[in-house]
């Protein structure tokens, strides 16, 4: 989903001034059994962004009245057509200042979830990405969103407390 309508409405009032926005990142992990004695590296669901060509995990802005876990589930379904279940909060972080080509300025407070794959075959399900698929966590494609590498590492540390 592109920019939510409520943010477009805010922009009419405040122009390009900096907004602090709640966001979620969903690191969907899938374990593949290769029928060998060695456990393969888990796979992670990735999408390739239309705007900058970077690969990353699914992420997005929370809607008014929406809980963080529900937003993570929605973003995965909207962006990659996959059903996933939140397992735990893996990290909470400031995404840093983002300045868009039109001059809009945003800071995202991101809640990252470790997510368990439930069902569905990854595909481009909206206009925000050009590709969607599973990748080994040991062989992530390039170019890759820097913050998402950190969030994948936090999600892979299953059972650990969230990082801040």
CA angle 23, 31, 71 (to 5 degrees): 20
Question: Which regions of the chain are under pLDDT 70?
Answer: 1, 34-39
- What is the pLDDT at residue 159? 82
Domains of the chain in start order, with CATH, are 5-32+40-156 (3.90.79.10)
- What is the pLDDT at residue 45? 98
- What is the pLDDT at residue 77? 97
- What is the pLDDT at residue 35? 63
Distance between CA 75 and CA 79 in Å, rounded? 6
36-84, pLDDT tens digit by residue?
A: 666 678 999 999 999 889 999 999 999 999 999 999 999 999 999 999 9
Q: What are phi and psi of 80, to 5 degrees?
A: -130, 0
């Amino acid at each position: 989903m592109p920019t939510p309508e409520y943010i477009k409405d805010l922009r009419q009032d405040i122009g390009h001034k900096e907004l602090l926005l709640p966001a979620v990142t969903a690191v969907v992990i899938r374990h593949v059994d290769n029928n060998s004695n060695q456990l393969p590296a888990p796979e992670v669901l990735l999408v390739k962004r239309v705007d900058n060509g970077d690969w990353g995990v699914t992420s997005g802005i929370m809607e008014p009245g929406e809980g963080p876990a529900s937003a993570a589930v929605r973003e995965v379904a909207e962006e990659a057509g996959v059903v996933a279940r939140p397992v735990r909060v893996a990290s909470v972080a400031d995404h840093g200042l983002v300045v868009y080509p039109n001059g809009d300025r945003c800071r995202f407070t991101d809640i990252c979830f470790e997510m368990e794959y439930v069902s569905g075959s990854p595909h481009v399900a909206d206009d925000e990405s050009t590709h969607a698929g599973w990748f080994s966590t040991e062989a992530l494609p390039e170019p890759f969103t820097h913050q998402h590498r950190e969030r994948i590492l936090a999600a892979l540390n299953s059972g650990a407390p969230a990082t801040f």
